[in-house]
């Protein structure tokens, strides 16, 4: 594997991390973190005399490799580790890191990313390079691993992350929460919210669906119950369209803070209080974040050039939810998006938008239109088989745009490369596709 072309300093392709065990002690008041990580990894095809982890400016206590003290240097967001003895090619090894300090977002072209204090607590919003703001990691989307998170914090606070809650133990004024996420997870998709929240089960009256739990401020529970009340039905529809939900459970956290956009994480999404209006005014975002569990989280892009695969398919899931629930059809939504894009500069190829433009609205809207153009080209029967097959064949794996093009070719005799090239690699906006 090679470095991510948009973020060549992030990650280390010389090894693969396959499990992280993180133990965090977090004090919300002073924003103080004391933590350790045990990372199980596998060396690549060459002997490993040193390797790197991505980690922000914390104080390092110790670093061990296979239980033995290792030499290390920590600067500019990189923890360089030199084992006492070089690791053989293909060797399985463990790295243990102890660190402490005041976590804060890392700087990026989009502002601060990662661990962020909120009005009362903290949350993590790491996409694309914010994970090193709170734990040492091989910060590449293609390096997916299982995670166990043990978080101790003051008892009035709830700890929410993706995965199954194994235990919650209170001793004196502190509570320890232990979560397990066994499915392969990219480091940017490890979510966390620490805030005073109340549990709100979403599926207790909907037997047979994926377990869905929410953690919500008490004052927002009535509005939340209305706004997210159709999420279980949304889950059922997406399982029909995309295949079985790829994780064991789905958790929603709502923090008492205004957020520009919801925060995507694996098995979890975090919304701000501004996304709960009591009128389902933001239901399209509920659909968008849920769809990412298939497109982006289970099926993960190999590097950030392919971000349209995440956002275009999640955008189209919004349109499908609207169409299937009596709202505007996907064709109507596509026409709105096309009209919007016609008024914007035609200077972006979304198949490789460049780091500066990877979160441009045009990637999302034109990505959705690309998916709609495929539907128009192959017809509904083949399209929905194609969509279901993409999410199931590549479950928990890593993909590229070329992989998607190859997948599409199995569902039609028509040569669709020219269509994909027009939508993904040309700058000029193609005509509106019609069903």
**Fold topology of 1-105+127-181:** Immunoglobulin-like (2.60.40)
CATH code given to domain 197-298: 3.30.2010.30
Is 240 among the annotated ligand-binding positions?
no
Single out the catalytic residue among 20, 364, 365, 411. Answer: 364
pLDDT exceeds 70 at position 205: no
- Residue intervals in the chain for CATH 2.60.40.1730: 1-105+127-181
H or E stretch at 405: helix 401-408
- Whole-number pLDDT of residue 204: 72
What's the pLDDT tens digit per position in 299-345? Answer: 999 999 999 999 999 999 999 999 999 999 999 999 999 999 999 99
- Whole-number pLDDT of residue 207: 73
Residue 225 CB neighbour total at 10 angstroms: 15
Indicate whether this model's pTM tops 0.95.
Answer: yes
Report whether 58 contacts 100 (CB < 8 A).
Answer: yes
- Whole-number pLDDT of residue 171: 93
CATH code given to domain 302-424: 1.10.390.10
- Residue intervals in the chain for CATH 1.10.390.10: 302-424
What's the pLDDT tens digit per position in 71-123? Answer: 999 999 999 999 999 999 999 999 999 999 999 999 999 999 999 999 999 99
Closest to 180 in 3D by CA, of 198, 196, 161? 161
Residue 412 CB neighbour total at 10 angstroms: 15
What's the pLDDT tens digit per position in 114-168? Answer: 999 999 999 999 999 999 999 999 999 999 999 999 999 999 999 999 999 999 9
Please, which pLDDT band fits residue 182 given cuts at 50, 70 and 90? very high
- Whole-number pLDDT of residue 418: 96
Is 26 annotated as catalytic? no
- Residue intervals in the chain for CATH 3.30.2010.30: 197-298
Please, which pLDDT band fits residue 1 given cuts at 50, 70 and 90? low
Sheet of strand 145-154: strand arrangement? 68-69, 59-65, 92-101, 32-43, 15-27, 145-154, 174-185, 164-171
Single out the catalytic residue among 289, 316, 365, 411. Answer: 289
Is 288 among the annotated ligand-binding positions?
yes
Is 289 annotated as catalytic? yes
């Amino acid at each position: 594997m090679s470095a991510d072309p948009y973020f060549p300093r992030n990650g280390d392709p010389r090894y693969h991390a396959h499990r992280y065990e993180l133990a965090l002690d977090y004090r919300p008041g002073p924003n103080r973190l004391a933590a350790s990580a045990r990372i199980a990894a596998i060396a690549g095809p060459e002997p490993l005399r040193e390797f790197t982890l991505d980690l922000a400016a914390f104080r390092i206590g110790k670093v061990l490799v296979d239980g033995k003290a290792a030499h290390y240097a920590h600067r500019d967001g990189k923890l360089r580790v030199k084992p006492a003895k070089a690791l053989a090619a293909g060797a399985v090894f463990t790295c243990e890191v102890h660190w402490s300090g005041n976590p804060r977002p890392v700087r990026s072209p989009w502002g601060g990313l990662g661990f962020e204090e909120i009005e009362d607590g903290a949350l993590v919003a790491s996409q694309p390079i914010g994970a090193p703001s709170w734990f040492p990691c091989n910060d590449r989307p293609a390096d997916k691993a299982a995670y166990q998170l043990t978080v101790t914090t003051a008892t009035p606070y709830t700890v929410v992350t993706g995965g199954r809650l194994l235990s919650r133990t209170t001793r004196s004024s502190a509570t320890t929460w232990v979560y397990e996420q066994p499915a392969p997870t990219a480091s940017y998709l490890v979510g966390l919210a620490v805030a005073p929240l109340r549990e709100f089960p979403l599926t207790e009256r909907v037997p047979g669906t994926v377990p869905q739990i929410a953690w919500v401020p008490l004052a927002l529970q009535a509005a939340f119950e209305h706004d997210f009340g159709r999420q279980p039905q949304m889950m059922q529809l997406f399982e029909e369209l995309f295949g079985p939900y790829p994780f064991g459970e789905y958790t929603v956290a709502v923090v008492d803070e205004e957020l520009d956009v919801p925060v995507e994480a694996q098995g979890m999404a975090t919304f701000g209080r501004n996304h709960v209006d009591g009128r389902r005014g933001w239901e399209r975002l509920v659909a968008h974040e849920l769809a990412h569990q298939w497109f982006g989280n289970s099926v993960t892009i190999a590097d950030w050039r392919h971000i349209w695969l995440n956002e275009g398919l999640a955008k189209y899931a919004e349109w499908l939810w609207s169409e299937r629930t009596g709202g505007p059809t996907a064709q109507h939504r596509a026409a709105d998006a096309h009209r919007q894009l016609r008024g914007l500069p035609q200077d972006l190829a979304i198949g490789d938008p460049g780091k500066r433009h990877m979160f441009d609205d045009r990637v999302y809207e034109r990505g959705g239109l690309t998916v709609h153009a495929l539907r128009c080209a192959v017809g509904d029967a083949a399209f929905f088989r194609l969509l279901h097959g993409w999410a199931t064949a590549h479950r928990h794996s890593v993909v590229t745009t070329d992989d998607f093009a190859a997948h599409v070719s199995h569902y039609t005799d028509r040569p669709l490369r020219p269509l994909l090239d027009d939508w993904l690699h040309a700058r000029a906006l193609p005509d509106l596709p019609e069903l």
